[in-house]
Structure 1
């Protein structure tokens, strides 16, 4: 997925505009603390289905599972009110039938995972502004402020949710080396 949609994963430390094509994605929604059990279960469910789909398509298509992404709405100062959608982009070859077989396979293997909340849906952002943030999540506000100045300087406005693409694995990467693409749809 990263090779097919290279520009979507090639953000730089300087803000830029890009056109994001509509992408089929596995998605699940939730609210509250991203360090809590609900979020962890949602991520586990997404990855379970994503890897089951990859196995299902392997005879005709070989690819790496795309990085985890998140759409965030609400105030990071009040985690209880934060609403999120976690997602993983999928190849265009994924059909509702492929999805159903993958969900059944994960449900049979791991009944504790809540795969029934995972859905296959398009993500259509269109024109967007993005920037690469390097460092811990707690330092993102300064990067977001730079991106917002870039958007305003071009006479644009944000038209969608705060979008993060996690290029580094939390817990496996030192906080100062974490890499996150921050993206906002604009118009």
Structure 2
């Protein structure tokens, strides 16, 4: 059986134009881990390692069943005190995040739990593995746009998205969501590509 590449199988999910657009997604399952703090800090690094450790454990199980898949791109949801639009305005130590890695539709809760238990036994020093979960997110209608450049210049892209949301009489109804298409360790900041995404809904207009 050919290895499943989620980026190719779900191309609409892993691509976006360099201008805002509306898209709609069905519920999607991910392995996840939640935390708080500077994304350049140890807590974030450990959480990322734990998430990948479990994801590769799940992959290993299904490879034995001839259902191998490529581990998908890292994603993240970001917020501060329940307001996703203020994260860039406060110290990075106050950022809350949920890291995600998309899983194929055939992955089960039981296999994720088995992979997590095995990972905990093999990596006893990485205690945050116990915090890795498995959940389905239903973001529905979203505004998204491809950001090209370093993370520090994201506010420019977010401003264009916010204007699009306002012009189309929409409002935010979910967390700021990023998909990291580039590995910052292997590419210069000016060429990095990140999909920025926000769940939205129409503003109800009251007449009379």
- TM-score, normalization by structure 1: 0.96
Name 1:7's counterpart in structure 2.
Answer: 12
Name 2:200's counterpart in structure 1.
Answer: 186
Measured after TM superposition, the shift of residue 4 of structure 1 is: 2.2
Gaps of 5+ in 2: 1-5, 81-86, 202-208
- Structure 2 residue aligned with 1:37, among 27, 37, 42? 42
**Secondary structure of 2:33 counterpart:** strand
Counting only pairs closer than 5 Å after superposition, residues 44-59 of structure 1 correspond to structure 2 as 44-58=49-63, 59=65
* Structure possessing the higher radius of gyration over alpha carbons: 2
Runs of 4 or more consecutive aligned structure 1 residues displaced over 4 Å after TM superposition: none
Task: Kindly provide the CA deviation profile for residues 145-184 of structure 1, in whole angstroms up to 9, marking residues without a partner as x.
Answer: 0111111111111111110000001222110111000000
Name 1:78's counterpart in structure 2.
Answer: 91
**Secondary structure of 1:128 counterpart:** strand
CA distance in 1 between counterparts of 2:111 and 2:40 reads 31
Aligned pairs, number: 187
Name 1:109's counterpart in structure 2.
Answer: 122
Counting only pairs closer than 5 Å after superposition, residues 1-187 of structure 1 correspond to structure 2 as 1-58=6-63, 59-74=65-80, 75-76=87-88, 77-113=90-126, 114-187=128-201
CA distance in 2 between counterparts of 1:112 and 1:17 reads 43
CA distance in 2 between counterparts of 1:18 and 1:62 reads 28
Measured after TM superposition, the shift of residue 60 of structure 1 is: 3.1
Superposition RMSD in Å: 1.0
CA distance in 2 between counterparts of 1:30 and 1:40 reads 11
